[in-house]
């Protein structure tokens, strides 16, 4: 569980690095095996494009709806928690693309009724995530808006997304250096990115993203076919959830 000081730091800065293990070794190894299965079966997708794998693989719900994760995010999201999305993102050695400066919330604009308590857990799999293999970086305190208007197109051969925020003061960046099994937390509105992987070590993470169940998923085209789960507590927004799993509390 996060402390009151942890919560205050997160609210002020938009991120937190607990430097603790999220899952037991057995559970972590099982998740890594699932990732490698998805990587093996990815077809023509790139290694950093394994988005929403839990839509296709219900075994991942054992992790996404686990008490280990939900107990961690509850002080930040609140007692009523919904699962928004997850993503395996892996940067291959030497050729792993950079991630441009961006806000996750900008890609969800118009899809939700509020954006201020969406929290992402970024879990390091297999190997450490550090400055040599393109660890995530954030600009502290930039989570107050979430919808910058100075995006410019990128080169998708070297960048994972199609646009990047211009004019970011990179001297303020905090590198999320994580050992295998450690995790970070960040607000869905914070400006963040990552350099390319120029090392000989693959960098792999699993992102698990949650929002308050008081937030409504809007009936817009971008949400057609989108799947959400009530992870804990009760819904007060009138959302429609997947029935495969019941809340853990």
Helix (H) or strand (E) holding 230: strand 229-232
Which stretches within 78-171 are classed as H helix?
104-107
pTM of the model: 0.94
Residue pointed to by tokens 């990587």: 39
Residue 28: its H or E element: helix 25-40
Compute φ and ψ for 174, nearest 5 degrees: -110, 125
Average pLDDT score, the chain: 94
Q: Taking the C-alpha atoms of 138, 27, 70 and 105 in order, what is their torsion angle to the nearest 10 degrees? A: 30
- What number is the average pLDDT over the span 130-135? 96
- Look up the CATH number of domain 4-232: 2.60.120.620
Q: pLDDT tens digits for 38-93?
A: 988 877 665 556 889 999 999 999 999 999 999 999 999 999 999 999 999 988 89
Biggest CA pair distance of the chain = 48
Beta strands at 119-125 and 136-138: parallel, antiparallel or unpaired: unpaired
């Amino acid at each position: 569980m996060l402390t009151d000081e942890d919560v205050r730091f997160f609210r002020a800065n938009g991120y937190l690095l607990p430097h603790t293990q999220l899952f037991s070794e057995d559970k972590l190894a099982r998740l890594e095996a699932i990732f490698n299965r998805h990587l093996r079966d990815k077809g023509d997708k790139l290694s950093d494009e394994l988005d929403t794998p839990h839509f296709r693989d219900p075994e991942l719900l054992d992790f996404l709806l686990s008490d280990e994760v939900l107990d961690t995010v509850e002080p930040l999201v609140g007692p009523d928690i919904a699962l928004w999305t997850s993503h395996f993102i892996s940067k291959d050695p030497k050729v792993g693309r950079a991630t441009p400066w961006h806000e996750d919330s900008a890609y969800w604009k118009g899809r939700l009724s509020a954006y201020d308590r969406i929290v992402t857990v970024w879990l390091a799999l297999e190997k450490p995530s550090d400055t040599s293999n393109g660890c995530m970086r954030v600009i502290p305190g930039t989570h107050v808006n979430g919808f910058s208007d100075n995006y410019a197109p990128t080169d998708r051969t070297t960048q994972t997304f199609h646009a990047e925020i211009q004019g970011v003061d990179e001297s303020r960046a905090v590198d999320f250096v994580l050992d295998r099994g450690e995790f970070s937390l960040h607000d869905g509105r914070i400006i963040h990115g990552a350099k390319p992987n120029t090392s000989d070590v693959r960098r792999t993470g699993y992102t698990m993203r949650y929002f308050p169940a008081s937030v409504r998923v809007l009936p817009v085209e971008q949400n057609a076919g989108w799947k959400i789960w009530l992870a804990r507590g009760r819904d007060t927004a009138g959302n429609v959830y997947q029935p495969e799993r019941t809340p853990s509390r």
